[in-house]
Amino acid sequence: MKYKINFFLLACLTTLHLQADDLRASLLSNMKEFDTIATQTKQNEHYQPYIISVFHGKELEKLGVSNLKEALTLVPGVDMATDNFNNQTPIFRGSNPFAYGQSKLLIDGVVVNNLFFDAYSEYLSMPIEMIKRIEVIRGPGSKVDGINAYAGSINVVTYAEDVDDFLSNDKLVFKYGSYDYRMGGFVKNFKTQTLKTHIDFYYQKDNKNISSGPDGVSQGSLGSANVGLSQSGDAPLWLDEYSLGLNMQYKEFSLKARILQHKQGSAYGINLALPQKSDRIKLPSYYAELGYAKKIDDFHVDIKVGVKYDAFDSKAKLAPDDVNLSGVVFPNGGYGEHYAKQRVLYQSSYLKYDGFINHHITLGYRVTQEKTIAIKSKLSNLATGNAALVDYTNTLPFFDKDARRTVYTFSLQDTYDVNEKLSVLYGVNYEQTSYKNAGLEPRVSFVYRKDFKNIFKAIYSCSHRNPSWQEMFTKNNHARVGSTNLEPEKVTSYELAYIRNFTSDSYLQSNLFYLVNKNQIYNSAADPVYRNVGKTDIYGIELEYKGHIFPDDELYANYAYIDGRYTVDGVSTSNSLPNVAHHLAKGYYIYNLSSAVSLGTTLKYVGSKERMPTDLRPKLKAYTTLDTALNYKNTHYNYSVNVSVKNIFDADVRYPSPQGTYVQDYAQERRTFLIAFKKSFR
């Protein structure tokens, strides 16, 4: 059998020059066999029925990109936002900048969004040296194996993918930079005849504190009587975390697991009052997924069972000295400890069938059980104003200790190769929960390959986002109040794309999109209860180019224009999208001075952002950042050194704050430097 396969491959290569178009169609059909999740394309991403951008870790290392967050800021149409926790999140195409869960993050195919926020801020600091490839789908179309992405999905592929390679890709990494940033980590692969194992580990910390304020107390976040207690000073944005990842493969069985211990400063304050430097938030994340995958004739069985734990763990000063809360004065300020631990159990079974000519059918289900398994709520004495903590877990909990939810998702999908030029993907998802149901959600995608140089796509898709734990179950909080009556946010997407391939590694991708968002979830400082009050129509264009100017360089550039209309409670409040940059332009250029030395430059432009109509502050100013990096690679001893400077011209970068909070928005780091050393083992 092995000799027949080798002969077949040799025959394919022999006919490459004679029947190029037929071979491309054959490769396209065979490629789908490897497409285990929507974003895991590995190659020929332009033929996939999605709008995809792919970034390679080794290329990003040359640019001095430090972590996953910095990499995602290069994606077309993606901006960043944050909140008073410094819970940072990528914003796809301007979709609800103050909400979480708009996108899904997968690491080697495992969803890692936490249950409390439905966010993944704790993973955005993942060092780029641990990442082989980042695959980003923009739009709600990336629904596979019961995973619904609302605005986009991100699949991080680690070097576990390389266990089968002849080269080991083992490495040691050390980094040092601004704010006393220090990082150390390694990647190690083991392989026997039947067992393959990948381990990655990193530890990193810094001492980042950024001048901020006046804080939200100045806007009445703790009542009008306390406005005079507002402070300005350094917001504690420091980081201290480590992570250990494990991937194992034994015949048809696989195990994917990770431990992430993430600790950070309390940022801009839980109650919008500037916290102390030592105040902290912990967002630990642990998961383990056991899989079984086997191909039997025309059937492919894929069964997964997993468990995930995450927690919100805060210890901080919540209110300044002499604060007056409901007539009780706290001379030494108010303090609190809040802890909520969640558990997610899930199981999925999917059957793929390729027995029908030109059809690839997938049918299956995913069941998820979500539950809060522990909470703790301690506050300064609310009756006397004494700073000593009192246990209010049972009498005044900050969270519903009985929070739980079950989600059932069923999906049917078929990819039909009409002919060697046209493919159609169509299918439907159905989801039912123990609260509000999302119902049926169809998807249709057309991919027309006129020839190698010209590819056209048309996509129609519906998806949703279930309310996060915070939006449903938060209690007794000045800034946010949950509601179990929330409906899922829903989106309907229409997209057209054209890809022009110039060579095998240079292309121009352009796409138009129109998104109809309903039931969007908002709250405000004036009304902290989460409600389905928003409707947003968003439209725009994205252009993405990758290629060369000279034989020894690499050029990447993209531009996105985003606009639309925002409606709240059925009343149009603005002819423009609030808190959204209409113009986003990013790009990088790498010039290889020699086989050992390269120079990289990264440029990002984020346009100005209008406020909500009731927000009288001037619009948030546009900013431009320029980064540069010098990379040296010694092939004899297999090590590399990268020196980079970020935001060379010290631009003032700020993320928008909601009305009634930090009046001068959330300040971010300015000019920084980074030195990275990597030693590879072959």
Q: Which amino acid, one-letter code, is at 672?
A: T
The residue ranges of every structural domain in the chain are 1-34, 35-192+199-224+235-681
Q: How far apart are CA 200 and CA 186, in angstroms?
A: 6
Distance, C-alpha 143 to centroid of its chain: 15
Q: Is 666 helix (H, G, I), strand (E, B) or coil?
A: strand
Chain Cα centroid distance, residue 115: 14
Predicted confidence (pLDDT) per residue in 164-200, tens digit: 665 667 999 999 999 999 999 999 998 888 899 999 9
DSSP code, position 43: S
Burial 297-323 (b: 16+ CB within 10 A, else e): eeebebbbebebbbbbbbbbbbbbeeb
Helix (H) or strand (E) holding 28: helix 20-31
454-491 pLDDT, tens digit per residue, is 999 999 999 999 999 999 999 888 778 899 999 999 99
Query: CB neighbours of 238 closer than 8 A, spacing ≥ 6?
Result: 179, 205, 206, 207, 208, 209, 264, 265
pLDDT value for 476: 85
Q: Distance between CA 266 and CA 279 in Å, rounded? A: 5
Contacts of 551 (CB under 8 A, 6+ apart): none
Give first-to-last CA distance, the chain, whole Å. Answer: 32
Residue 254 confidence (pLDDT) above 90: yes
Secondary structure tally for the chain: helices H, strands E: 5, 38
Q: What is the pLDDT of residue 526?
A: 75
**How far apart (Å, rounded) are the C-alpha atoms in residues 610 and 94?**
12
Nearest C-alpha neighbor of 545 from the set 571, 580, 510: 510
Q: Which helix (H) or strand (E) holds 13?
A: helix 2-14
The CATH homologous superfamily for domain 35-192+199-224+235-681 is: TonB-dependent receptor, beta-barrel domain (2.40.170.20)
pLDDT one-digit tens code per residue, 123-139: 999 999 999 999 999 98
197 burial type by CB count under 10 A (0-12 exposed, 13-18 middle, 19+ buried): middle
| Mean pLDDT computed over every residue of the chain | 90
Measured in residues, the chain has a length of 682
Q: Looking at residue 56, what is its pLDDT?
A: 96
pLDDT at 8: 39
Tokens for 498, please give them.
């054209």
The answer to whether residue 39 scores a pLDDT higher than 50 is no
> 442-454 burial string, b = 16+ CB within 10 Å, else e?
ebebbbebeeeee
Task: Retrieve residue 199's tokens.
Answer: 């381990």
Q: What is the DSSP letter of 299?
A: E
pLDDT score recorded for residue 450: 94
**pLDDT of 556 over the 90 cut:** yes
CA distance 450 to 618: 49
- DSSP letter for 401, please: T
